[in-house]
Amino acid sequence: MADPAAYDVVVVGAGSAGCALANRLSADPAVSVALLEAGGADDREAIRVPRRYFSLWGTDVDWGHVSTPQPGTAGRTHLMPRGRVLGGTSSLNGMVYLRGAASDYDGWAAAGCPGWEWTAVREAFAGLEAWQRPAVLAEHNLLSQAMVEAAVEAGLPHNPDFDDGTLDGAGWNKSTIVDGERFNAHLAFIAPIRDRPNLRVLTGIRVLGLAMDGARARGVVVRRDGGGTETIAAVETVLCAGAFDSPRILLCSGIGPAAHLEALGIEPVADLPVGENLIDHLLIGIVYDSRRPISDLNAYCTEGCAFARSTPDRHDCDIEISFAKEPHFAPETGDGVPRFTIIPGITRPKSRGTVRLTNADPDAPLAIDPNYFSHPDDMATMIRAVRLSREIGAQAALADWRLGEHFPGPATETDEQIARYVARDVSTWFHPVGTCRMGPGADAVVDPSLRVHGVAGLRVADASVMPDIVSVNTQAASTMIGWRAGDFVLG
Ligand SMILES: Cc1cc2nc3c(=O)[nH]c(=O)nc-3n(C[C@H](O)[C@H](O)[C@H](O)COP(=O)(O)OP(=O)(O)OC[C@H]3O[C@@H](n4cnc5c(N)ncnc54)[C@H](O)[C@@H]3O)c2cc1C
């Protein structure tokens, strides 16, 4: 396709959501689509080989975001990796694929987002999964089997299928791994359709801001790798740049909290809560010494997990526990003892943070403040999650494996001790969402059809639009949002 004067749709960001959206839009040969990606090709070995994903953090395929110091986590800052490469964060994530709870999406609909209830999004999941092909790993590590059995012994039901919207219980999760290799959003949604004449995939294109004409977006202002800036015109622009960079592009373009923008010398175009409502999951590890060598079958891939309710009166699960066959969180010992980790996480956090610009320069670092544990219920839930994980770790199914708790160790026992260990060692689960929240009124950034309130020709479709976080790892929901945006843009 020759470069048209203006594309029908420019999609910003070839990540989980953007790849799914560009696939859907370009299925109509009458619609010209440009998919713009700041990063480059996704062909390096560490992207393909699932067990090597940790080695990608902090490299040139990671945006390298860092949080502000967090009072709730002993004043620590947290690395917040985000993919800057074809496939976006699906190129460096942990590949767990879980749709979420029916109650997650019914909650969005009840909060003023009709059309996002479970029955509607379930259809979208079925559609996108024909391309993404998530699957339970074919063969399970014996230690993973023992951990899933231990969760059932601890009183959780066996859950044979997390896809049906009911999370309670322990079982096998799906992964975005096909034939033993990472199957990222680029391979799933774009590689098979790369020859569509109406689709241009342009890498090395950093979007600096929107080309605004009053309150209408007419495309994007970009900088090509090694080149100058230019405008790419579009009838409609859809931001799929993720929970940090979609708000950055909006804020740099004058769309956001007016007082914040004015303080930075940016003229406000639309006064919207861009960058507020940052929500993230947190997790921590309980590490056990193993009495047996641990096979490296499916090393560093989460095969099994469990979901639970922290109190019996809850209507949904607020704890997810992952089972890892490696030591995580504990300091390196170099003693050669094989170790495994039970990883409790909180999935319905109440703390809310912000993403802000530090100045008007799009290249300046962001101020990312997840505000971890600012709501006291989150620590209470984390303590219950740690206790439940230890119950699982103590079951007979693990008797052949468990030598003893290595980290944090049995001396960490009271609520106060557990809270101190959590604050000191807890990690982001790398699931930031919510910074361009969807909702019906001007207290939200986008409407339920993902149009930015008060701005024509502009939508956001990625993890940032979630009004509340889903109760599971966030890639499936992010991909689904991109897929569903296809319904709205094509109208
Ligand atoms: C280390 C890690 C492990 C994770 N593990 C899991 C897991 O196991 N399971 C799971 O479900 N979720 C996991 N996640 C989370 C999940 O991957 C994300 O929620 C999901 O990929 C977000 O999708 P997105 O489309 O919103 O953003 P992204 O996939 O991040 O896509 C955004 C894209 O936009 C591009 N972009 C950004 N700014 C610009 C710009 N200005 N110009 C041009 N392009 C731009 C980026 O380069 C990127 O390609 C993990 C995340 C991380 C970081």
Averaged pLDDT score across all residues of the chain: 97
390 CA → ligand 1 middle, Å: 32
pLDDT at 259: 98
> Across residues 382-398, what is the average pLDDT?
98
Which residues pair with residue 92 across a beta bridge?
none
Alpha carbon nearest to ligand 1 atom 49, residue: 88
* Cα dihedral 87, 91, 97, 99 sign: negative
pLDDT at 226: 82
Fold match flag (1-134+181-279+432-491 vs 136-175+282-348+373-425): no
474 CA → ligand 1 middle, Å: 9
Backbone angles phi, psi at 170, to 5 degrees: -115, 145
Whether residue 12 is predicted with pLDDT greater than 60 in this model: the reply is: yes
Q: Which of 65, 328, 406, 431 is catalytic?
A: 431
> Across residues 396-416, what is the average pLDDT?
98
Which homologous superfamily does the CATH classification assign to the domain defined by 1-134+181-279+432-491? FAD/NAD(P)-binding domain (3.50.50.60)
96 CA → ligand 1 middle, Å: 13
Alpha carbon nearest to ligand 1 atom 9, residue: 96
> Has this prediction a pTM greater than 0.85?
yes
Percent of the chain residues past pLDDT 70, beyond the cut: 99
Out of 53-57, 200-204, 216-220, 447-451, least confident range:
53-57
Alpha carbon nearest to ligand 1 atom 21, residue: 89
Q: Name the pLDDT band for 4 (thresholds 50, 70, 90).
A: low
pLDDT at 180: 96
Burial of 30 (0-12, 13-18, 19+ CB in 10 A): exposed
186 CA → ligand 1 middle, Å: 12
Look at the chain and count its residues.
491
Show Cβ contacts of residue 31 under 8 Å, excluding neighbours closer than 6 positions. Answer: 8, 9, 25, 198, 490
Tell me: cis bond preceding 408? Omega within 30 of 0 counts.
yes
Whether residue 2 is predicted with pLDDT greater than 60 in this model: the reply is: no
pLDDT at 491: 73
pLDDT at 188: 98
Q: In Å, how far from its chain's centre is CA 217? A: 27
Q: Tell me whether residue 65 is one of the annotated catalytic residues.
A: no
Burial of 380 (0-12, 13-18, 19+ CB in 10 A): middle
**pLDDT tens figures, 137-188:** 999 999 999 999 999 999 999 999 999 999 999 999 999 999 999 999 999 9
Structure tokens, 145: 């089997």
**pLDDT tens figures, 430-478:** 999 999 999 998 899 999 999 999 999 999 999 999 999 999 999 999 9
Separation in Å, CA 286 to CA 53, 273, 345: 21, 38, 11
Separation in Å, CA 49 to CA 92, 95, 237, 467: 10, 11, 34, 33
> Across residues 45-72, what is the average pLDDT?
96
Alpha carbon nearest to ligand 1 atom 50, residue: 93
481 CA → ligand 1 middle, Å: 13
Domain 136-175+282-348+373-425 fold? Cholesterol Oxidase; domain 2 (3.30.410)
**pLDDT tens figures, 73-118:** 999 999 999 999 999 999 999 999 999 999 999 999 999 999 999 9
CB distance 20 to 482 below 8 Å = yes
Q: Name the pLDDT band for 397 (thresholds 50, 70, 90).
A: very high
338 CA → ligand 1 middle, Å: 32
Q: What is the DSSP string of 78-101?
A: -EE--B-BTTGGGGTS--EE----
**Of the residues 55, 428, 475, which should be mutated to test ligand 1's pocket, given the most ligand atoms within 8 Å of the CB?**
475
- For ligand 1, what atom is nearest to the CA of residue 472? 11
Whether residue 6 is predicted with pLDDT greater than 60 in this model: the reply is: yes
**pLDDT tens figures, 155-166:** 999 999 999 999
Whether residue 283 is predicted with pLDDT greater than 80 in this model: the reply is: yes
pLDDT at 35: 98
Residue ranges lining ligand 1, Cβ < 6 Å: 12-18, 36-39, 81-84, 88-90, 92-96, 205-207, 240-243, 245, 249, 430-431, 462-463, 473-476, 478
pLDDT at 43: 96
Alpha carbon nearest to ligand 1 atom 27, residue: 242
**Of the residues 93, 202, 237, which should be mutated to test ligand 1's pocket, given the most ligand atoms within 8 Å of the CB?**
93
**Of the residues 89, 182, 201, which should be mutated to test ligand 1's pocket, given the most ligand atoms within 8 Å of the CB?**
89
Domain ranges for the chain, please list them. 1-134+181-279+432-491, 136-175+282-348+373-425
pLDDT at 442: 82
- For ligand 1, what atom is nearest to the CA of residue 18? 25
Alpha carbon nearest to ligand 1 atom 35, residue: 13
Whether residue 1 is predicted with pLDDT greater than 90 in this model: the reply is: no
**pLDDT tens figures, 288-331:** 999 999 999 999 999 999 999 999 999 999 999 999 999 999 99
130/127 Cα distance (integer angstroms) = 6
90 CA → ligand 1 middle, Å: 6
> Across residues 20-38, what is the average pLDDT?
98
